Structure 1
């Protein structure tokens, strides 16, 4: 008997690429095979420039505020490493901060003698705006926020936090890894100085791609720790930093992956981010509703509004066991441990959660299969 087709529910980790994205990527690799990397890139010059235009449209910014990266982490880290703090300076993070960001900020704070503090949150998990406003003083030098955390459906009030940060003239870094491609994003409304995202998640682009937004008015404060002749071209006998966000790029890049990313952005814009958000929310709502009716399942989502990430645990079964059981039935989900969102997981006494994330391509039949198999876990001995 043939195995059932894979039902994929880990789009928050790495989405399945559309055929058009795959074709755009592979076609360029074939072009490189025929012509060589440089000649192939020259032929695709206009298509590569269009990637920046599409990214600017996606994020609601100007063309010169976009850089292409090989990951969220690379863009976030390269800009963060431009900042320098002093003893007594304060860095604020959300309780749901991504573990990679938190590790980097811990290192920076220890290096410079700054204090790393967690913004107070309500019982629902969102940052408490009133308490945050009371925390802001001249010693706060940075606010870093993960907009949609990796361990559940919480949506942080990024726009309101950005408004507070801008009024206080405090740099605001926004990790939008789980937002871009899942929901509309407008960096002007968000009042963020820096925004980062990978291409592999909700955008359904190739792995090894990412977007970096740097507000043009903030760029002059940022001097990358390393440059080359692309990021700091030779001008009148001197190497001068570019006056756009491409000062965070280098002369070498995976052109095929970038063209794939451009196609993925085009796909998202063609569908419409409002429509994508509505479809994902409806599918996630169906899953959450049915999981809540299962007595052996505990929903672990925080927030008053929910994204397409669904966190849960199952009585007498670890998240590893839940994922393994689902894999036996050709269903793929994710699991998150403490390392992914350490502050929030530790605060709630969680060691790991299972995570479901549908996309617009997820079918009703796949959702029914997922729920049926999870319901069977009630009868499976630990």
Structure 2
């Protein structure tokens, strides 16, 4: 069944709910999305409650709203609520799983060139600590991870397949489902970084076949900053040992013993940004209300429109890759540093970002790039905003 994109009425409603669109053209959703009013209200209301009642008392009064976070995330990615943990950001969520794997000397991690800096430096640290090896799978001719090469790279010593679903520095959407089939056939743990994909496109852990998935609240889900989540399948829960624990993640049995709680909340800490947890649950429910397939269709269509428009400008070089592309568009302007392009667009009240080689050491330098300008669209953006953006770049051109 073909799922339609959002209607113009839907887009109007999204914009009515997003105060920031009256201030800027926001093409930096891969950095932070513009928060919608229901999320702002949820966070502010809980902070007001804390001010009136006290933090502990407010959390107790808002238990049902806090619990709703787990149900909302479960519905978003197709898992059970108890397979979700609330973590303060996507990097820490990823870390809690990765550092919970009992790596041994000689174990191998298979990854691709789209891997993000925070993940890859963790691989390097584990290599230094435990003597693991890192196998980088090259891209295929389209620019996505080469599935045949991936399959060939997995050996009896492979402990983990780690993939960034949507990298922060190109329009690529990696074939996460195909990678899941390969990992499943090989019987290897599969860790997916969904930091840029959750909220941008549909993400279903059953379809993907990943055992572990990490994500953030602040980007395409348009939740509060300082919020993230971790999915750990029941099937592999006992294969991971949280790198640190507290009274939230473990029960203290007696003077000499403890036991981990029997669900993904063993990866949480007791102290948390309660208003943020509530706000992220509201943000997820808000996105689900519009339909993730419909949101994803619009985001990808806007990305395709922007690429098409930019391709008509003589001094613009596009740097996106992959058989499937999303709402992140990367480019450079001939004769101008990306920072200069960003500053000139900012003067026109257009938000974009920069992706530097320091965040993509095994990708951008491999393609001869030091940095790219990144424009990242969301469903609330409009075709007219793209036209304004292209005209602004044309004046720079």
Equivalent in 260, 263, 277 of residue 258 of structure 1: 277
1:339 aligns with 2:358: yes
Count of aligned positions: 375
1:242 aligns with 2:275: no
Equivalent in 150, 153, 157 of residue 171 of structure 2: 153
CA distance in 1, matches of 2:128, 2:161: 17
- How much does 1:29 deviate? 0.2
Given that 1:149 and 1:341 are in contact with CA atoms closer than 8 Å, whether structure 2 keeps it comes out as: no
Match of 1:302 in 2: 321
2:203 aligned counterpart, secondary structure = coil
1:173 aligns with 2:209: no
1:268-283 residue pairs with structure 2 within 5 A? 268-283=287-302
- How much does 1:236 deviate? 7.0
Match of 1:376 in 2: 395
What are the superposed Cα offsets for residues 142-198 of structure 1, whole Å, 9 maximum, x if unpaired? 111001111111111111111111111111110011110011111011111110000
What are the superposed Cα offsets for residues 197-230 of structure 1, whole Å, 9 maximum, x if unpaired? 0000000000000110001110101111211111
CA distance in 2, matches of 1:85, 1:245: 20
- How much does 1:88 deviate? 2.2
1:99 aligns with 2:117: yes
Show structure 2 runs of 5+ residues with no match: 1-21
Equivalent in 195, 214, 234 of residue 196 of structure 1: 214
Given that 2:102 and 2:240 are in contact with CA atoms closer than 8 Å, whether structure 1 keeps it comes out as: no
- How much does 1:361 deviate? 1.2
CA distance in 2, matches of 1:37, 1:228: 19
What are the superposed Cα offsets for residues 283-316 of structure 1, whole Å, 9 maximum, x if unpaired? 1121111100111001100011111000001100
2:310 aligned counterpart, secondary structure = helix
Match of 1:112 in 2: 130
The normalised TM-score by structure 2 is 0.92
Match of 2:4 in 1: none
CA distance in 2, matches of 1:41, 1:158: 37
1:68-107 residue pairs with structure 2 within 5 A? 68-107=86-125
- How much does 1:255 deviate? 0.6
CA distance in 2, matches of 1:126, 1:365: 30
Given that 2:135 and 2:153 are in contact with CA atoms closer than 8 Å, whether structure 1 keeps it comes out as: no
2:285 aligned counterpart, secondary structure = helix
CA distance in 1, matches of 2:105, 2:383: 55
CA distance in 1, matches of 2:122, 2:184: 23
Q: RMSD value over aligned CA atoms?
A: 1.2
2:191 aligned counterpart, secondary structure = strand
Show structure 1 runs of 5+ residues with no match: none
1:131-146 residue pairs with structure 2 within 5 A? 131-146=149-164
1:304 aligned counterpart, secondary structure = coil
The farther-off stretch of 205-214 and 125-134 is 125-134
CA distance in 1, matches of 2:182, 2:27: 36
Equivalent in 80, 103, 109 of residue 62 of structure 1: 80
Match of 1:20 in 2: 38
1:31 aligns with 2:41: no
